[in-house]
Amino acid sequence: MASRDSTPTGFRQRFMSGETLVGTFVKTPATHPIEILGSLGFEFVVIDEEHAPWDRMAIDAALLAARASGTAGIVRVAEPTPAKILAVLDDGATGVLVPHVSSAAKAQEIVKACRYRGGRRGFSNTTRAGDFGAVGVWPHVDAQDAAVTFIAMIEDPEALDEIDAIVGTEGLDGVFIGRGDLTVALGAPAMDAPEIMSACETIIAAAKKVNKPVAMMVANADDANRFHAMGATTFIVASDQGFLRLAASKAYADISAVGAKSA
């Protein structure tokens, strides 16, 4: 049985071993979507502080919901400051997804914020991450350094010039390819344009050389299969709001057509 100080899913080990994992973004600042997603078997959820109206209290509750639902709670932080990263880790986040990691220097700074040993993470074992003081000082340090996952988002053209150094950063667990930002930054016509696919190949090849896993956002199973063949193993599909919109749109179209069909 996992200790209460650790994630119930062993996410970091599964992620780094290259297991196929499926998650989604959670945009709605509430616990209920996370409970539903966890019950459906999603291995992780990404609480999206960068692009949705999450505050500290809402994130805290969401991370508790993730634990209760048996799914890993990752936070996409709005900004990679030590204070922001510390807050979500103390609240029990399994890890952080950090936007715009465009250099090895940035990656190294984030590693320091995530780790106790060899880093500069501010210490407290009286938080949820430390079972509110029940876990001793060094057991807490060891458990957190073993469990916390740092995934860097590669979504800037300049990151491609330094990709080998970024993925080789000690303490960085894996990368997420931000095709949307790369598409806009490069002025590409679509996320599957040749220059974007070439960038994906470059990033995946660099990650493979140092045995770091790659995460991608995908639209569907065909998309996932294509990138899995290239070497990606962790996939984010849609969001809670995207799922709601898709299901609601179909339900409305189906039911609203009833009268027309019988007329």
pLDDT digits (tens, 9 = 90+) for 96-138: 999 999 999 999 999 999 999 999 999 999 999 999 999 999 9
* Residue 262: per-residue pLDDT: 59
**14/229 Cα distance (integer angstroms):** 19
**pLDDT at position 3 over 50:** no
> Would residue 23 count as lying in a domain?
yes
* Residue 4: per-residue pLDDT: 39
Task: Tell me if residue 35 falls in helix, strand or coil.
Answer: helix
* Residue 9: per-residue pLDDT: 53
Task: Tell me how many domains the chain contains.
Answer: 1
**pLDDT at position 60 over 90:** yes
> Would residue 2 count as lying in a domain?
no
- Over range 81-96, report the average pLDDT: 98
Q: Among 154, 173, 171, 170, which residue's Cα sits nearest to residue 162?
A: 154
**100/45 Cα distance (integer angstroms):** 20
> Would residue 3 count as lying in a domain?
no
**pLDDT at position 6 over 60:** no
- Over range 242-258, report the average pLDDT: 96
* Residue 87: per-residue pLDDT: 98
> Would residue 51 count as lying in a domain?
yes
**pLDDT at position 79 over 60:** yes
Domain range for 153 = 11-262
Q: Is residue 51 among the annotated active site residues?
A: yes
End-to-end Cα distance, the chain: 60
Q: pLDDT band at residue 8, thresholds of 50, 70 and 90? A: very low
**CB-CB neighbours of 13 under 10 Å:** 13
Q: Give the burial string for 193-232 (b: 16+ CB within 10 Å, else e).
A: beebbebbeebbebbeeeebbbbbbbeeeebbeebbebbb
* DSSP one-letter code for 51: T
pTM > 0.75: yes or no: yes
> Would residue 6 count as lying in a domain?
no
Question: Which residue in 32, 51, 100, 140 is the catalytic one?
Answer: 51
H/E element holding 198?
A: helix 194-209
**131/139 Cα distance (integer angstroms):** 11
- Over range 142-156, report the average pLDDT: 98
* Residue 260: per-residue pLDDT: 76
* Residue 161: per-residue pLDDT: 97
Q: Among 21, 23, 26, 16, which residue's Cα sits nearest to residue 234?
A: 21
**pLDDT at position 7 over 90:** no
> Would residue 1 count as lying in a domain?
no
Output the CA angle 87-90-92, nearest 5 degrees: 115
- Over range 169-185, report the average pLDDT: 98
**117/101 Cα distance (integer angstroms):** 22
> Would residue 5 count as lying in a domain?
no
> Would residue 241 count as lying in a domain?
yes
CATH of the domain at 219: 3.20.20.60
Asked if 59 and 30 touch (Cβ cutoff 8 Å), the reply is no
What percent of the chain shows pLDDT beyond 90? 95
